[in-house]
Amino acid sequence: MATVNLGRIKPIFKGAYAGGTAYVVDDIVTSGNETFICIQASTGNATSNASYWTKLAAKGTDGTNGTDLTSTLTAQGDIVYRDGSGLAKLGAGTSGQFLKTSGTGANPVWADAGGGLQSQQVFTSSGTYTKPSGINKIKVYVTGAGGGGGASKSSYSRSSGSGGSAGGTAIEILDATSITTVTVTIGSGGAGSGDTNTGGTGGTSSFGSYCSGVGGSGGRSAGGLGGAREGGNGSGGDLNIRGQGAGSAIESAGGAVISSSGGNSFWGGGASGVYSAFGTAGLIGGGGSGGSGNSTTENGGTGGDGIVVVEEYK
């Protein structure tokens, strides 16, 4: 009767090939990162001898530690991407940056993370805006100057001038990628009036040719014709805001007369009315208040100078 070795029903893995080991049919060994099965019992016949061994699994092509890339990966944090012709390396970015895609047909880049408002510049006198490095968007507020207040009139026992109206404001968000410098112009507040004159109109403020805020009208002196004075308006902004107008001049034969306040700009700043005194000056685009007198000429207050505020974003 035949004898069956139940331990040989399946192949036996014998590990790495050794020349001094006796191998029998169906023994499996490894050699040179490849796998072989014995087809004829032998000792000392290398796996390269096809009379005794059949290759079960051939090894693939050896890798070359990244030298098949356009540029070799050499530092921790390097990443691989495909450019227009093949594999390429993008070196590690700086702390806080993120990987940004520019869409189909463009290579990825490291970019600074958007962090909202980074800084701001405030102009209360004319000058030049210079964009800081890394700023991609700016939000600009441009406010014109306030008008000067009207005066009381000495020919009336009780009188007051009207306040100056406020400058208008333009608010605009700009893509700053192509901006380097911009000329900033700040309007001067209108002069307060004396006696029968009307207060001076506030000057216009501007941020280059992007947007501007027109100055407010001057207030009327006592006895001047007309009612309330209209505020200046913004121009060229995403949002254009008219400054607040001011009240009327007053003449009275008796009794206390308080002058009208100056109009408020986007920032406020309208001067408060006065009694028996020169008008007070407005602030940041607000109108000056009217003067108030008892048979005297009390000049109106000066309007507040304009302002430009630039908020800077990444």
Q: Model confidence over 171-211: pLDDT tens digits?
A: 999 999 999 999 999 999 999 998 778 899 999 999 999 99
**pTM exceeds cut of 0.85:** no
pLDDT at position 102 is: 81
Burial class (CB within 10 angstroms; exposed 0-12, middle 13-18, buried 19+) of 220: buried
Residue 8 backbone dihedrals phi, psi, to 5 degrees? -110, 10
Residues 19 and 163 grouped into a single domain: no
Q: In the predicted model, is pLDDT for residue 70 greater than 50?
A: no
Q: What mean pLDDT do residues 224-249 have?
A: 85
pLDDT at position 67 is: 47
Lookup result for tokens 């040719």? 209
Lookup result for tokens 């096809």? 50
For residue 55, give the H/E element and its range: strand 53-57
Specify if 307 maps to a domain: yes
Q: Which residue has the higher pLDDT, 91 or 254?
A: 91
Residues 301 and 173 grouped into a single domain: yes
Residues 136 and 282 grouped into a single domain: yes
Alpha carbon distance 157, 143 (integer Å)? 38
pLDDT band at 101 (very low <50, low <70, confident <90, very high): confident
Specify if 92 maps to a domain: yes
Residues 250 and 157 grouped into a single domain: yes
Yes or no: say if 135 and 291 are a contact pair by the CB < 8 Å rule: no
Residues 92 and 152 grouped into a single domain: no
Q: In the predicted model, is pLDDT for residue 282 greater than 60?
A: yes
Residues 241 and 277 grouped into a single domain: yes
For the residues of 100-142, what is the DSSP string, one character each?
E---TTS--EEEEPP-SEEEEEEESS-EEEEPPTT--EEEEEE
How far separated are the first and last CA of the chain, in Å rounded?
Answer: 89
**What is the C-alpha R_g of the chain?**
43
- Mean residue pLDDT across the chain: 88
Residue 160 pairs in a beta bridge with 250, 292
Residues 232 and 96 grouped into a single domain: no
The one-letter code for the residue type at 134 is: G
Which structural domain range is residue 102 located in?
83-112
Q: What mean pLDDT do residues 274-298 have?
A: 92
Q: What is the pLDDT of residues 107-121, one digit of tens each?
A: 888 887 766 899 999
Residues 48 and 94 grouped into a single domain: no
Lookup result for tokens 């000049």? 299
